[in-house]
Structures are given as structure tokens and as C-alpha cells.
Structure 1
């Protein structure tokens, strides 16, 4: 696990270090991810993180393999509602979405737009295509799954076992609304 990757927000003030390879790399098409991306794109200077067909591309990393190198004081959480089980973390220095965290999750879904094009991990699957009205228009370059599969959850469980069933807390500096 000697491989490390450094990524940053659009302006470079908020930087992360990722150790090793991701648990998996996916594109999510759930209603929640698409709605959050649409709202986050309205922040001043923000770019839309959706693909041309409406997916949110992420690399899932164990929390214990993600380190904030700089700019932690810029990180704010965004939730679609006050009781939402997910939060999206945004670097407010340039309004760049950085990652998604599931409630009680032991992993972070790091948004792929943070990598330079030449180094960006390739998605292995698209999930939650069942939420789309027109899923038949999706590219067929990788599996297009209607929901999360047993294999998807098995990879996450394997990572959690590898972490000794720990769930490190990720502190942020506050909240934003979009």
C-alpha cells in the first residue's frame, strides 16, 4: 500500500492524500446524488460534477486511508435535508464538492473530478440506474446496475473488516446551503 495520490479542489487550497487503491470506482445515478449535484452546481464558481448522462462519479476509499493535507478549515457539509443520511463535503474556498459521506459509513466517496484527466480512476460500474426514466440511453462500456449489488456491498464489507470495524469521524468546519 505504498501508493499515494494527492488531489485538490479547483483552486488548490484544499488538498487530500489518498493511500492505496480505492475500494471501488463507480458512477451513481440515484435521485439523491443527481439532486445534490444540481444544487451544488448553483454555488458561486462551482462546476457541475455530473457526467453528460447525469451520473456522479466517485472513488470509494476507506476513511483511514484519506488524509486532509491542507484547507480543512474550508470544508463544509451540505445535506439535501436536515435528516438526510448522507452529507456532501464542499471546499468553500472555490465551492468544489470533495466527497460524500454516508451516515455510519466507514468509507468516503471521493468525487472523480478532483483528479487530473490523465490520472482519473476508471469507473467499474454504474449503480442505481433504476432511478432513471431513460436508463436505455446510458453507455454500455461498464455494467449499468439497477441498484447496488451483493458484490458492491461485499467490497465495502471487506474494507470494513480490514479496518477492524472502525469508523473514523471526519470533522468539518460547518454547514452550507445550496
Structure 2
């Protein structure tokens, strides 16, 4: 695939009722090991029929995309919102039809982190880096096939910054959910 706006990917819940389209080159493909992603993943896995999003190593793979390059194609009315705390600036969109997490939004940011497992394998780019690996579970040793960063790296932050500059320093709102889940 090229890095043009012609590049398109979809993400959907397992039952296919909720579908998200992403256009253009992603900001980055990364796997996050932070405590919040692990806690949310465990909460999702406790829901009936929910697919796993956290790997055995404690990491959650994401594809970060610009908010101005996403569109809910179907099922946005079926989305619920999950926050670890009521005042958290991070919310996760969950397809209530099959309890599948679709994406994570830092509401003050300009990107949406789409759960890689919701993207078909043929469209899913491999992770380029692992981030916040200092929070990984005790005893987990990570391979050195891609960079492992204890905190968000300069490369990660640079990618976010250059995307924000390209967006004219805007952070569009993502309005897709009907309910609030805890």
C-alpha cells in the first residue's frame, strides 16, 4: 500500500454490525503495555462473548489514525463508551452487539487508536514498536524484533506531532456512542 489517501482499511466487530473506515497512511502501528490498556482489556474479556484484545505478553496492538480520516460506515448507534474512571480523558468504543472493543480515543488528542484485532489480517500493518513496556506483567521478556520503549518514544511523539501539524493543529471530535459503559 502507498501512503496516499487512496489507502483504505476497515475495522469491524466480529459480528460485522459495526464498521469503521480509515483513509490514508496511519500515524503508527504500535503495541501498548500500559496499566490502563491491560485493565481495560481484562474488563472487556469479562463481558459475555467478548474477544480478547490483550496479548499473553500484556500488550494491546493498535493502529493510530488521524481523526479527520475516519468514518463510521455502519453500526455507530450500537457503540457504547467505556472509561476506566468517569473523568478519564480516554474512552474506548465498544460494539454492544458482541462486546468487542473497536477503538480508543484520547479525547483531547487528534488521533484514534483502533484495536488491530478489529482490522482484517490482509489490511493490518505489523507493529512498528512496543510502547510503555515498563508496565508489562512481571516475568514477560519481549523480543528485540522491533523497538521496545519504556515510555512513549521520541519517534512515537514525533509521528503524533507531524500528524497534528498536517491537520492544522485541530483535534476533531469523535461522536459515535449512544451509551456509557463502566
The TM-score normalised by the length of structure 1 is 0.94
C-alpha deviation, 1:133, in angstroms? 4.9
SS in 1 for 2:103: strand
Please name the residue that 1:59 is paired with.
Answer: 63
Alignment partner, residue 128 of structure 1: 132
* Equivalent of residue 140 in structure 1, options 139, 144, 153: 144
Could you list the runs of 4 or more consecutive aligned residues of structure 1 that deviate by over 4 angstroms after TM superposition?
A: none
Total equivalences in the alignment? 177
Q: Is residue 2:42 matched to residue 1:38?
A: yes
Q: Matched residues in 1 for 2:107 and 2:68: separation?
A: 16
RMSD (CA atoms): 1.3
Q: Which residue of 2 aligns with 1:23?
A: 27
Cα distance in 2 for partners of 1:136, 1:13 equals 35
Give the CA deviation at 1:166.
1.2
Mark the runs of 5 or more structure 1 residues left unpaired by the alignment: none
Q: Does 1:77 align with 2:115?
A: no
Distance 1:24 1:39 in 2: 25
Conserved? CA contact 2:101–2:115, under 8 Å: yes
Q: Quick check: 1:129–1:135 contact (8 Å CA) kept in 2?
A: no
Alpha-carbon separation, structure 1, partners of 2:21 and 2:139: 35
How many angstroms apart in 1 are the aligned matches of 2:122 and 2:174? 29
Structure 2 stretches lacking a partner, 5+ long: none
Match of 1:96 among 94, 100, 104: 100
Query: How many angstroms apart in 2 are the aligned matches of 1:106 and 1:135?
Result: 34
- Displacement of 1:150: 1.6
User: Once the 2 structures are TM-superposed, how far is the Cα of residue 155 of structure 1 from its aligned partner?
Assistant: 0.6
Aligned to 1:113: 117
Q: Give the alignment partner of residue 164 of structure 1, picking from 157, 168, 171.
A: 168
Partner of 2:179: 174
1:150 aligns with 2:158: no
